[in-house]
Amino acid sequence: MPSPTTEPADSRRVSLVTLGCARNEVDSEELAGRLAAGGWELSADPEDSDVVVVNTCGFVESAKKDSVDTLLAAADTGRKVVAVGCMAERYGTELADSLPEADAVLGFDHYAELSDRLDDVVAGRALASHTPSDRRKLLPISPVRRPAASTAVEVPGHAQHGWGPRVLRTRLDDTPVAALKIASGCDRRCSFCAIPSFRGSFVSRTPEEILAEARWLAEHGVKELFLVSENSTSYGKDFGRDGTRALERLLPELAGVEGIERVRVSYLQPAETRPQLVQAIAGTPGVADYFDLSFQHSSEQVLRRMRRFGSTDSFLALTGQIRELAPEAGIRTNVIVGFPGETEQDLAELERFLTGARLDAVGVFGYSDEDGTEAETFEGKLDPAEVAERVARISALVEELTAQRAEDRIGTFVDVLVEQTGSEEDDPVGRAAHQAPEVDGECVLLDASGLAVGELVRCEVVDSAGVDLIVRPLRDADR
């Protein structure tokens, strides 16, 4: 690994463009840290750079299209273009052959020496494109053997190995919320998902690394930590017996970091969500009452074909447990409709769950085949027109139910993290504890002049608009 103090004499400029999820945002800031350590100057303007690095997303078809469109737009600037990220890792040479506009397609194993690889690109030296492989095979099958072995495998977001106390990350924006990766990879074998094959087996980061990065983020103005991974409920399982309740122990430590106002956990698997974890999230001061649960469906028959566990009744029991401990908690999920073999009865079962669960936000996705997944081989595929009709049906129900849930909050009080201060034309905007960045709606603050980005403001909910809340800050005496 190159020394973090090495800085070539000639300054080079690079622009990073990030697509996809919050995990990719963390990876981009890690890459930015690597490139800054290698002497590259970061630029927000692709046209003012020597190289544009596009951190691609390769999860679903629409994301792949966005990635290709972004790479083509970057090439239109006349600058050198390098593809990294999930789509580059997943398709490698195939992507390079179909997209000659990209000067290089690099996988995760290029990240440690990305500075040198960009030098090669600028100099016109040809680079062999990444050759994809199943990254699950790079680490031992036994989780407890992985921490030692992972130091020799490139795992995005785990760059702390070999850098000592220094945090290898450079912030690419000045927002008061930042994603913080607690683990990478996934050991689940959901029949519709290809992520484990290109993200690899599950590996936790150590609490010491996570806390060091949390303190670094706080020093750089972050007020809310958004804990991300492919499966946060598995955190610590590779630590052995000491890891059984690792996340429950980590949360109060993160909430206690000076300068951090709120900690939010994401990507929880319902079948792995233990009562102790629910209690820790609901009962730890400074941790948002927020549960991002990956239900995907609620029909037992569909879940089994998805290689998942649960049912409408077990999921309703879980949401009931959460509401009992934290009545105002936010619960969000994603669901897939039109899965191979899904019947009208299955869809009605999903509707029963959604109606009973009173969720705050729901992403609705229509099933489509993903390369290399088990579900791609299943019989019972639905006609695309039927899938679209079911998406519309569930989406309409979700829109009604989540709007009702927002209406139920009128008259309650929420703590809003201010993210935009507003202008003469627009009111300030922020998010309450039940609202994650970008996906769960926002709070519009009325009569709220003089606020600063990053302030946590106690507000009364006075109205709603869909999933968004209209709030008014309390006077000092009322707070």
- Residues placed in the known binding site: 21, 57, 86, 186, 190, 193
Q: 268 with 310: CB under 8 angstroms? A: no
Q: Which residues of 459-476 are buried (b: 16+ CB within 10 A; e: fewer)?
A: bebeebeebbbbbbbeee
Q: 466 with 403: CB under 8 angstroms? A: yes
Q: 349 with 394: CB under 8 angstroms? A: no
The enclosing H or E element of 398 equals: helix 384-408
Closest by Cα among 125, 122, 113 to 14: 122
Output the DSSP codes for 79-104.
SEEEEEHHHHHHHTHHHHHH-TT-SE
Count, residues in the chain: 479
Taking the C-alpha atoms of residue 364 and residue 395, their distance in angstroms, rounded to an integer, is: 6
Q: In the sheet where 262-265 sits, what is the strand order?
A: 177-181, 224-228, 262-265
Output the DSSP codes for 190-223.
-TT--HHHHH-S-EEPPHHHHHHHHHHHHHTT--
Closest by Cα among 177, 231, 174 to 201: 231
Q: Return binding residues for [4Fe-4S] cluster.
A: 21, 57, 86, 186, 190, 193
Show the tokens assigned to 417.
Answer: 């993290």
What phi and psi, each to the nearest 5 degrees, are found at residue 50?
-80, -35
Q: 437 with 292: CB under 8 angstroms? A: no
The alpha carbon torsion through 459, 464, 468, 474 (nearest 10 deg) reads -10
Output the DSSP codes for 215-257.
HHHHHTT--EEEEE-S-GGGTTGGGGGGGTTHHHHHHHHHHTS
User: Which residues, 6+ apart, have CB-to-CB distance to 202 below 8 Å?
Assistant: 143, 146, 183, 184, 185, 186, 187, 230, 231, 234, 237, 238
Taking the C-alpha atoms of residue 226 and residue 436, their distance in angstroms, rounded to an integer, is: 8
The enclosing H or E element of 347 equals: helix 344-357
Tokens 């949401």 belong to residue: 319
Taking the C-alpha atoms of residue 386 and residue 341, their distance in angstroms, rounded to an integer, is: 12
Taking the C-alpha atoms of residue 302 and residue 240, their distance in angstroms, rounded to an integer, is: 33
